Homo-oligomer: A and B are copies of this chain.
Amino acid sequence: MSEKLIRLKKLLGEVSDLGRAASVLSWDQQVNMPSMGAEARGQQLATLGKTAQEKFTSDEVGKLIEDIKQEFNGSDPNSDNAAMIRVAARNYDKSRRVPPEFVAEKAIVSSKAFEAWVEAKGKSDFSIFKPHLERMVELAQKYVSFFPPADHPYDTLLDDYEPGMKAEDVKTIFNALRPAQVELIKAISSSKQVKDDFLHKKYNESKLWDFGVSIITKYGYDWDRGRQDIAPHPFETTFSVNDVRITTRFEADNPLVILFSTMHESGHAMYEQGIDPKYERTPLSGGTSLALHESQSRMWENLVGRSLPFWEHFFPALKKTFPSQLEGVSLKSFYKAINKVEPSLIRVNADEATYNLHIMLRLELEIAMIEGKVAIKDLPELWNAKMKEYLGVTPSNDAEGILQDIHWADGYIGYFTTYALGNLVSAQLWERINQDIRDLDDQIRKGKFDALLGWLREKIHQHGHKYDPQDLVQRVTGSKITPEPYVRYLTKKYGEIYGL
């Protein structure tokens, strides 16, 4: 390795350390911190962000990247080092465009916005959050202004989460997807609804927690390299390949949700735990994109965790744990109940058939916000109108409407789209996996997940950020991200459940 590459890796390692220190502070803020601590924490995160950016965007790093690019000219573009330089160069260019003061300001604003969002959601009062969201949108617009004009300003935001993906690509995919999902929902709504009252009985929180733990332990989540805590909004966060944590939450009126939330976050976490340790402290650590990440969480939550074979294995234990709640409930009834399709208000609790419509709504709102075509004060009303239009339901308050998600409070505008793309990728991978592991259903029926996890480790996880998302999906499935496998999956699954 050349002197220059060694020096660059040292500097990038320090940048990575500062970023991961910030992740620890953010995790703590959501899991442990007394609320009075928010202001100082925001300041600390601002300084960490600014310091990391200063380190990364130094002239020295830029010069090293350029020099090493020259050195690598003509060598294998798929080598780890070439990939690292490619990703580092892209990140460097992006970061040089964004002034350190902007990064620091955004950290402070989003820390306060987070606290305001918690309060606003608690009181179901959008007016508490409104000024913070206005600042967030202003900051997003300012961010876009640092970059050369794209086809659409939203492209610049999306590119941070899905490198290479554009608003137009997403619209094309969504336009193909929407009619299929709407048609399916219509067909379901004219069928006999499934019964799920037993899911809404009183369940003991700590027993459910333990059951969730037992599931993801079988999945292969490595507890020696992670832990689970309670937080207002479930998330996964990575402090190193050997410290990948998840959070979950209990909802008294929808108690089993905690199981699926735990499975979901474990999917993210197993991705991070499976990345080749050689990428630690380099720009290749971490998953390749949010959609790829979401494909993993969705797979373990839905394609595995809401499948019949899965519950053939776990239902007897669940029934033993909750004998009175599940008295007289058959496996088949339980399976149908957890897959009940019903247009509803809360995205994270939405079923697979309606979920993507929640995303389409958010995409439209985000695009309108970024274009400045909507006043923030009008958002709750617009939200509610679109919910009515797409899903036929209307939030009765802001907490179950526009305040339900943390993302905008955290400054993530352009992020939601990746959830829907993740669903699509999960099904696309699933078709491939079932060609490679012919008896996968049987394995799941036995509570065995090692072949599945092994496949994901080999094909997806280990590569970290080495490939861009569309390239990786192409390499593994033979085509770029496409909605058809997901439509096939939904149609088959719900066709059987609702007898369509």
Q: Please give the residue numbers on chain A whose beta carbons come within 8 Å of chain B beta carbons, in ascending order.
A: 13-14, 17-18, 20-22, 24-25, 28, 32-37, 39-41, 43-44, 46-48, 50-51, 55, 223-227, 229, 239-243, 280-281
Contacts and interface: CB of A to CB of B under 8 A. Distances in A.
B34 A223 contact: yes
B40 A20 contact: yes
A34 B224 contact: yes
Given A17-B43, A21-B21, A41-B243, A225 B36 contact: yes
B14 A51 contact: yes
Nearest to A23: B44
Contacts of A242: 34, 36-37, 39-40
Nearest to A241: B40
Contact of A34 (B20, B24, B227, B229): B227
Contacts of A51: 14, 18, 51, 55
A121 to B, nearest CB: 20
Contacts of A20: 40, 44
A37 B225 contact: yes
Contacts of A24: 24-25, 28, 44
Given A20-B44, A34-B225, A39-B242, 20 more contacts: A13-B47, A21-B22, A21-B47, A21-B48, A24-B24, A24-B25, A34-B223, A34-B227, A34-B242, A34-B243, A35-B224, A36-B242, A37-B240, A37-B242, A39-B240, A40-B240, A40-B241, A40-B243, A40-B280, A43-B281
A40 B238 CA distance: 11
Contacts of A243: 33-34, 36-37, 40-41
Contacts of A21: 21-22, 25, 44, 47-48
B14 A47 contact: yes
A106 to B, nearest CB: 16
Q: By CB atoms of chain B within 10 A, which of A20, A37, A280 has the most?
A: A37
A336 to B, nearest CB: 38
A24 B20 CA distance: 12
Contact of A37 (B22, B34, B239, B281): B239
A312 to B, nearest CB: 32
20 contacts: A14-B47, A14-B51, A21-B44, A24-B24, A24-B28, A24-B44, A33-B239, A33-B243, A34-B225, A34-B226, A34-B243, A35-B224, A36-B224, A36-B225, A37-B225, A39-B242, A40-B239, A41-B240, A41-B243, A44-B240
Ordered nearest first, which 6 A-B pairs have the shortest CB separation?
Answer: A40-B240, A37-B243, A17-B47, A36-B242, A17-B44, A36-B225
A343 to B, nearest CB: 39
A227 B20 CA distance: 23
Q: By CB atoms of chain B within 10 A, which of A41, A46, A223 has the most?
A: A41
A203 B473 CA distance: 58
Contacts of A225: 34, 36-37
Given A24-B24, A24-B25, A36-B225, A18 B47 contact: yes
Contacts of A25: 21, 24
Nearest to A38: B242
Contacts of A36: 224-225, 242-243
Contacts of A55: 51
A18 B37 CA distance: 16
Contacts of A33: 239, 243
Nearest to A50: B14
Contacts of A22: 21
A407 to B, nearest CB: 24
Nearest to A242: B36
Nearest to A32: B227
A281 B18 CA distance: 19
B48 A17 contact: yes
A243 to B, nearest CB: 3
A7 to B, nearest CB: 15
A18 B223 contact: no
A277 B226 CA distance: 36
A63 to B, nearest CB: 19
Nearest to A35: B224
A247 to B, nearest CB: 12
Q: By CB atoms of chain B within 10 A, which of A17, A20, A25, A55 has the most?
A: A17
